[in-house]
Chains A and B, each alone.
Chain A
């Protein structure tokens, strides 16, 4: 955190004023936000290489549509954290509720604690590292990117997944339709190792060899009447 960071106290200034300032900021500027008290849409829509530290918990859609910069939240975040992130980094130290990193196209989202249901739903290229567990239906219809879970994954992980990769260190309660365990090859260990290094604070010493890899069986790509059976087969494979 730069010593020249501008401080925004959300008990004093409006969130609109904060976000407009962040939108107008130039590369290299630093900001600190205090007293967020669960406000929605904090630090949404950043497009430049700035640094924002939020001290406290935030509400919905924090750092949504994020590009380039770095947002760090020292606290928890509610629904839709870093939704549609394009690039840059969003890191929260606490827990996230539903749909963290939803539809993200790029960049890195790090959750220090647990993420709730549907983490990484429809992710399109974002990398997500969760230090704890993820809730049910995480990586639902995930299309590209990597979801790394250092704890456990709840039911129906990776349901209807396309080409994203999922790495889980702990237990998987169940896999969703068309999601299967896959061989961990050297290139996957490299990818995973780089992500764990990038998110070292949250990963807590986890090493790639402790993880298993999951991905698409590619049986649901095109609709044919046989897909009904494929979905059932995927369910049985997971059971």
Chain B
């Protein structure tokens, strides 16, 4: 089943409470996916600085030596702090290089996301508990995505939880299942994308990263996805300056969108949106199949 939510603040009105509102939505979708949950939050970031969120579930890692070794690789200063079983690195060095180095050199760790604006946390457990553990409620920013997972085709693991991010500031939450992900994963690996799970949704994230790394705008990458991804999906996608939604042409997986002057929200079900300020006056509609919806901070 799974539940997905996304909230994009078009104006400053709710950016100070982005995390709190996202948590309300996530908690409302708890019974669509009680196995695990995750969220990604985008904020203004610090110019030139990349943050890298790393999951080290069940590992006792001394992060300082890791940061020092990473500094030598990047030739740039690296700082790190722990957030429960996650570590958050900051550097002015190359984020993509840092991601790959951490994947290759910290055994058992998973790099969840990197970029100028994104932080990403995920864990096994009931969604409202996951939100509380990583203090989603206190976060500010421009947009956020979150996911509640009911595992159907693979085990209940943190690594199999959403959101998935493989490229800079690009992440995705997915309700559905893809059928051509193994072949597509091999193709993308041959085109310099690296994956850390067997999950189909991670391949979708990698596909978008690959397209955008090749120069596509998010809307162009999603046009490609309509042709190249086979299966069932409702996606909510976050990029550095925007937010997008795409459903497959059959559109079996639910989605509802609401928009006001201040925000755009999408969810698997309206009841998550009903928790938002101004929801009763929002324009509410069901996104059409195979149609790309996107919003940009620049607009």
Contact between chains at B285 and A95 (CB < 8 Å): yes
The answer to whether B271 and A98 touch across the interface, beta carbons within 8 angstroms, is: no
Whether the Cβ atoms of B274 and A97 lie closer than 8 Å is no
Residue of A with least CB distance to B280: A56
B256 and A97 contact, CB distance less than 8 A:
yes
Beyond A57-B274, A117-B289, A136-B289, is A94–B269 a contact (Cβ under 8 Å)?
A: no
A97 contacts B254, CB within 8 Å? yes
Task: Please give, as numbers and ranges, the residues of chain B lying within 8 Å of A6 by CB-CB distance.
Answer: none
Tell me, yes or no, whether B56 is within 8 Å of chain A by CB.
no
Report the interface size class on chain B: 10 to 19
Contact present for B284 and A76 (CB under 8 Å) = yes
Tell whether B251 is near chain A: CB-to-CB under 8 Å: yes
Task: Establish whether residues B256 and A78, one from each chain, have CB atoms under 8 Å apart when the complex forms.
Answer: yes
Decide if A125 is an interface residue (CB 8 Å cutoff): no
Q: Which residues of A contact B251 (CB under 8 A)?
A: 98, 117, 135-136
* Closest CB in chain A relative to B175 CB, distance in Å: 13
A170 within 8 A of B: no
B286 CB within 8 Å of chain A: yes
Q: What is the CA–CA distance of A97 and B288 in the complex, to the nearest angstrom?
A: 10
CB within 8 Å of B: which of A41-89?
A: 56-60, 76, 78-79
16 CB contacts below 8 A, A to B, read: A37-B275, A38-B270, A38-B271, A38-B272, A38-B273, A38-B274, A57-B274, A58-B270, A59-B271, A76-B270, A79-B254, A94-B284, A97-B256, A98-B251, A98-B254, A135-B288
Q: How far is the CA of A94 from the CA of B289 in the complex (A)?
A: 20
Q: How many residues of A contact B (CB 8 A)?
A: 22
Residues in A neighbouring B285, C-beta threshold 8 A: 95, 114
Tell whether A104 is near chain B: CB-to-CB under 8 Å. Answer: no
17 extra A-B contacts, CB within 8 A, seeds A37-B274, A37-B275, A76-B284: A38-B269, A38-B270, A39-B271, A40-B271, A56-B274, A57-B270, A59-B270, A59-B271, A76-B270, A78-B269, A78-B270, A79-B254, A97-B286, A98-B251, A98-B286, A117-B251, A154-B288
**A-B pairs, 3 with minimum CB distance:** A38-B271, A38-B270, A37-B274
Known: A37-B274, A97-B254, A98-B254. A116 touches B286 (CB 8 A): yes
A4 to chain B, nearest CB (A): 26
Indicate if the CB atoms of B289 and A59 lie closer than 8 Å. no
CA distance A37 to B269 in the complex (A): 11
**Whole-angstrom CA separation of A59 from B270 in the bound complex:** 7
Of residues 243 through 299 on chain B, the ones whose CB sits less than 8 Å from some CB of chain A are: 251, 254, 256, 269-275, 280, 284-286, 288-289
Give the chain B neighbours of A79 by CB distance below 8 A.
254
* Closest chain A CB from B271 CB (angstroms): 3
Q: How far is the CA of A60 from the CA of B31 in the complex (A)?
A: 14
**Which of B254, B271, B273, B280 has the most CB atoms of chain A within a 10 A radius of its CB?**
B271
How far apart sit A116 and B285, CA to CA, in the bound complex (Å)?
Answer: 9
Q: CA A97 – CA B280 in complex, angstroms?
A: 17
Q: Which of A107-126 contact B (CB under 8 A)?
A: 114, 116-117
Query: Given the complex of chains A and B, what is the CA–CA distance between A39 and B271 in angstroms?
Result: 6
Identify the closest chain A residue to B275 (Cβ): A37
Nearest residue, chain A, Cβ from B253: A98
Minimum CB distance partner of A79 in chain B? B254
The listed residue (A40, A57, A60, A95) touching B286 by CB distance below 8 A is: A95
Minimum CB–CB distance for B227 against chain A, Å: 18
* In the complex, chain B residues whose CB is within 8 Å of the CB of A98: 251, 254, 286
Provide the residues of chain A in CB contact with B275, threshold 8 Å. 37
Across-interface contacts of A76 in B (CB, < 8 A): 270, 284
Name the distance in Å between A217's Cβ and chain B's nearest Cβ: 24
Q: Which residues of A contact B288 (CB under 8 A)?
A: 135, 154
Residues of B within 8 A of A114 (CB): 285
Complex-state Cα separation, A78 to B285, whole angstroms: 10
